[in-house]
Amino acid sequence: MKNINKDEVLRRLLDCGVVAVVRMSDRQKVKSVIEAIRRGGIMCIEITMTVPGAVEIISELALTIDRDVLLGAGTVTDEATARAVIEAGAQFVVSPIFNPQVTALCKDLNIVCIPGCYSPTEIFAAWNAGADIIKVFPARNLGPQYFKDIAGPFPHVKLMPTGGVTIENVGDWVAAGAAVVGIGGELLDKKAIAEGRFEILTEKAKTLVRNYHRAKGAA
């Protein structure tokens, strides 16, 4: 994998705008899934720690994945796991929670950190601790209006909704101020993956990227 610095990783994350959250049990199909959504224009991949052998998968992908793809680790909740995925080659670290130790480690190692927060207090604390993007999770119950409300007191904070983002509503999140979106199950069609119909994932990715950038251009 091409070595790029933290600033470049962050810039590419924000330019791409979509992070595909890979959370699946069949590790043998992970590479096929990544290639399918890459063909659809999604270049930011998050391998969650719920995938069997996730750290090993990240290590393998770091050596073989196309240079235009950013490789991240998700569901990272403790410092030891954060260190393991970074050593394996993860270029950004995502968590469903805000663990100050994880954020501090990423900051020390110059790795993009995206902790999960829910309340304004958590968002403010994580941003002040050095987070690069705040993952608002679960965003489903909060909705896009929450992002508009948060932008009032915190206009400088970069937010990423995860949980509740769909191919159809991605534009609503962008219009509300989301800097990046995270999407998993809505994109990674389980039936299509089970049947090996990866072209369906490619078409979903194309539509998602098109909807995202159309909304971004209008924002």
Q: Which residues are catalytic?
A: 46, 135
Q: In angstroms, rounded to a whole number, what is the distance separating the alpha carbons of residues 174 and 189?
A: 23
Looking from the CA of 136 toward its CB, the CA atoms found within 13 Å total 30
Report the greatest alpha carbon distance in the chain: 47
Q: In angstroms, rounded to a whole number, what is the distance separating the alpha carbons of residues 36 and 41?
A: 9
Q: In angstroms, rounded to a whole number, what is the distance separating the alpha carbons of residues 54 and 83?
A: 13
**Two tokens at 28?**
């043998």
| 3-class secondary-structure state, position 22 | strand
Closest to 93 measured CA to CA, from 118, 76, 116: 76
